[in-house]
Structure 1
């Protein structure tokens, strides 16, 4: 028995995550291939890199692997945001492709014939086409197939896939010859449903009223139009989201916490407008949940508080473009307080909250120190007065004693003299 030739490998050679250069080379090698394969390979490399980093001790090797992983992360982030996985083109079975080839007859190009031959050479295992070179090109058949299908999808976006008899249209056949169909169920019905059942269904459909057929067709057309409109709307939304992401507008004016705003209100004192007061009241009314401000109407206006806040902040940003945010003693400047009262700071929320917290703590400590000093002064004053009074009392007592003693001495002397005289 003759040995059958060995089939090519299912994986693409030369891929890895050794360093940044290897990561870039990997992305180049994956370019144009099936999106599902791209995501699978990069996710596998990321997980494998994490395991390798656990047992690696050399700092240079660790930094190289981390650089490669960051490149993969960036690519996968863009990959997921653009939903490239939806552009995947699943392969039809080789048996179905051969039936399509018979159906196409002479309406088949040389390139399509070569693709079918290559698909047959790998016995319908489409993964092996990643290592089968297309004749006359530097790429493999999987890349060529995706490239051709991309152009065909754009060209035949709004074309009918099946005719009234359920047979694939010529436009549909062009895609089928590349082993792909947008409607595999209809294809299965055409090729694999028993003939008797198929004829029964077709007779039932033909015997129905002409008006009913027209209504069905109009419904199908409306459905297709609706789907195309929805796809267009989704594409517009995705485009706008990408633009927002590119301009980094999604996190342009993040809200500060309610506690931070209240502290800013204390710092502002009387330098606060009625509009800012009403905003803080509304912010307190929703317990600091800024998303609920989208449904809270501003006073004397048709817009909600989130719109008013963004409008006011835009003017404040233009007004205080290069202003200083904090003074030398750590207090927020007047310009900064204006923005803080709208629950916003150009600095990060955590930093501002920490600085305000430390500022209020220092203020409280200073107030306590003053109170303690005043209390000590009062105590010292009272003790001094008490000492003085005590001294005065002592002096008075000593004077009285002296007077009494003097009086006693004088009386004693007089008595003695009188006694002497009598004697």
Structure 2
């Protein structure tokens, strides 16, 4: 507590006793109000009861993060969690030394929560590990990405950042830039266009593809017209049944990167690796929010029209792959079918290994193609 200056200390002006006493009382009050507060007895009792119910299996699945179904895209995670244990322990020790690093301002320091949800820098190289754990918050209409690493991702097209174009061998810088822009247009039309998401024909995306590429547009048209296991449009397009779900807000979170190199058809080859996170609610029902996570990897090429029979200004789709998290397994009707925590799918029970749909540090692993795995988080 501050002490009153002694009489023998020099000062320019003498402070009245009543002013000094008021200053002392205000200082003591501020110190008490800023000190960390212990949880109340009731809060401790509620937390203990929830832990006991959870241990007995009395709480519904998904009350924290909950397992969700993933379409046969299994990836092994044992080694990952073992590696992550070391930095997590180090982080706990660091927070013990500096509590202000904790998100959410738990000790009333007055710092803004903006830093917790501050945007991530653009992804310019493959991540070395999965994103760290997030607080197990329940998504809401106001915060549909709560409890998800995607809360810090860019919104929509802003997450598709083109690398700086440069000449590749005989291919000019302008041609490289054209290829990158066409690839982005394909990604936007296939995964972010509101019409595509509502299940309409993805016309903007199809206009980017070369009609002279044998079989491609015919196969895609077949899938859009008569979906089946062999011709399933969700392998390239993100589509939801508007009679089943609707978007929870106007934002889709996007993260990924694009690279390019000399192509095999006299042009420039582009690889796009992006993950899209879609928050949705039931079309007619309670405003419960769930998320479907779709990762897409595309290999395209802007070929040389002087050497190959291709259409100028269109790209060849050489390969496309996907990993879909939180959509009913073995349903081939041309739509993604998100699972909600409050209800379980009537389909087969998950049998494959667990996977983290936000882990972009690994290549897509399909396993044997017949597994219906579980998600560690959505």
TM-score by length of 1: 0.17
Q: Which is strand-richer, 1 or 2?
A: 2
Q: Which is helix-richer, 1 or 2?
A: 1
Of structures 1 and 2, the larger Rg is shown by: 1
TM-score by length of 2: 0.19
